[in-house]
Structure 1
């Protein structure tokens, strides 16, 4: 078989599982080096990338996974045709890769199972990158510069210590698979709903208590994983309610009763305040609220596949019962509809 897809023969040099600390690549003749498209060096005991790698000028794929590697030298920069670099399960960190790595044309980069505490800036310069895997590291955050990776389709950051999702992810036009499971994420930014290309979203084993309503805009989403979050483990009905201030009570009266007012009668700061009124979503209420509201979890059908627990805002506790916001199905649902809703919910909880 010709081309980089070949799995054996002259285009693939497999030196895996030799248990060597220093691989002698000089023994490979020059003609063979020119023909090798895939160089497999995984499961040895290498501490650094062999300098002879630079002589494999036709290399498309380099696998140096499962070694003891703490450093990748500038030799890799000579591999101008390299598209895939697999370096998972080593001892690499943000100081282990060359500063000019961002000048390469990599499309797949797998650095999972290493010791990165942050994503190096040179990785964020790889504008041809389609797949980035940094799972099982020590990352605490996702840099806002992640939107520099304009070609990114697959982002795997599971098994880190990430606490938040930057809204800049919404600027990635081709992002289809986003894996953020097993982190410490407490909320999902509404802007994530702008990633219309998203097909799979893995958020299991985080600290999520609700999802933004905007998530319903992800109409192409096919897989959603939420298990192991507080919103799944323990559904919250009435979360908090702060009694409204006198200002809010007055504003509610003006807006709900349609009392007319004009700029000549009301100070400018109160005009701005009145413009901030939010309509209560309970159709039987018709009220408004400003700062004080009842937060609830409401289950909403999503693409006929899931029933999502989304945050729901009501103007007062009295609105809770008529809305039926916390039940899996309303009283008018048939038994079959309720069963279907339960199955969709199970798919979300266990997915």
Structure 2
């Protein structure tokens, strides 16, 4: 139940360092015997029955990758805010509905995975972070607020399979956005002239939306085809 193993992963300098794994053991808490492993850079606890993290994890200040997916978290564990080296945080397949301010303490955070939770909106506290990649597929999100434009570092946004009815115009104000995945929503049209403003956009996935404009056959041909269609119909 509480048996873990130590593996090796690459740190941000390309060196092999220790990572502790306790994966799909149905553990309901982090084993006390892991308490001495404070020098690890990876902690993978996915596929268990964990609902909270112990306070002693605040000493795990070198962890760069923390995987808590496939557990039973209903609240964001406060101790994560003390693990300031985290670059990749995975909390998919839990029961989260909100995030606290603690996440803004993770100044090195680059990738945040929140897929398959119970979010009805993107937590606005995320807008105060410098993350580069946000994954929040398979939730219950109905709209993306204009505040997302504050995320000047964001490069990848994945919001597939939510309940979005409008394409968020604020995305045009995000200078580094390269990839947007917004499939399986309820979007009927793109705002006029929007794509021309998104100069760094390389990938836009819109499959399985009830689109009228641009039509499906244009969408299937990629971003360049969509921009061309937009230009040809700018006066319609």
TM-score range for the pair, normalised by the shorter chain length: 0.7 to 0.9
Partner of 1:9: none
Aligned residues: 219
Partner of 1:142: 122
Partner of 2:171: 192
Partner of 1:47: 28
Q: Could you tell me how far 1:24 is from its partner in structure 2?
A: 7.6
Instruction: Report the 3-state secondary structure (helix = DSSP H, G, I; strand = E; otherwise coil) of the residue aligned with 2:20.
Output: strand
- In structure 1, stretches of 5+ residues that fail to align are 1-19, 29-34, 238-298, 315-322, 326-351
Aligned partners of 2:54 and 2:79 also within 8 Å: no
Check if 1:183 corresponds to 2:155.
Answer: no
Partner of 2:47: 66
Aligned-CA RMSD value: 2.9
Partner of 1:38: 19
Partner of 1:272: none
Alpha-carbon distance in structure 2 between the residues aligned to 1:24 and 1:177:
33
Alpha-carbon distance in structure 1 between the residues aligned to 2:201 and 2:4:
48
Q: Could you tell me how far 1:147 is from its partner in structure 2?
A: 1.9
User: Which protein, 1 or 2, shows the higher relative CO under an 8 Å CA cutoff with sep ≥ 6?
Assistant: 2
Poorly superposed stretches of 4+, deviation over 3 Å: none
Instruction: Report the 3-state secondary structure (helix = DSSP H, G, I; strand = E; otherwise coil) of the residue aligned with 1:62.
Output: strand
The TM-score with structure 2 as length reference comes to 0.82
Check if 1:306 corresponds to 2:225.
Answer: yes
Q: Could you tell me how far 1:37 is from its partner in structure 2?
A: 1.8
Deviation digits for residues 212-246 of structure 1 (CA, Å, limit 9, x no counterpart): 23332112212111111111xxx279xxxxxxxxx
Partner of 2:197: 217
Deviation digits for residues 108-161 of structure 1 (CA, Å, limit 9, x no counterpart): 1000011111223322432221000000111111122222112x1110000000
Higher share in helix: 1
Alpha-carbon distance in structure 2 between the residues aligned to 1:181 and 1:118:
19
Partner of 2:87: 107
Instruction: Report the 3-state secondary structure (helix = DSSP H, G, I; strand = E; otherwise coil) of the residue aligned with 1:123.
Output: helix
Instruction: Report the 3-state secondary structure (helix = DSSP H, G, I; strand = E; otherwise coil) of the residue aligned with 2:160.
Output: coil
Q: Could you tell me how far 1:75 is from its partner in structure 2?
A: 2.2
Alpha-carbon distance in structure 1 between the residues aligned to 2:195 and 2:213:
19
Aligned partners of 2:204 and 2:223 also within 8 Å: no
Alpha-carbon distance in structure 1 between the residues aligned to 2:88 and 2:223:
34
Q: Could you tell me how far 1:76 is from its partner in structure 2?
A: 1.6
Check if 1:126 corresponds to 2:45.
Answer: no
Q: CA, structure 1 residues 73+174, in 2 after alignment: closer, same or farther (shift >3 Å)?
A: same
Deviation digits for residues 10-47 of structure 1 (CA, Å, limit 9, x no counterpart): xxxxxxxxxx2x3389xx9xxxxxx9621111121110
After TM superposition, the structure 1 = structure 2 runs for residues 298-337 of structure 1, keeping only pairs within 5 Å, are: 305-307=224-226, 325=236
Alpha-carbon distance in structure 1 between the residues aligned to 2:222 and 2:91:
35
- In structure 2, stretches of 5+ residues that fail to align are 7-15
Alpha-carbon distance in structure 1 between the residues aligned to 2:222 and 2:136:
26
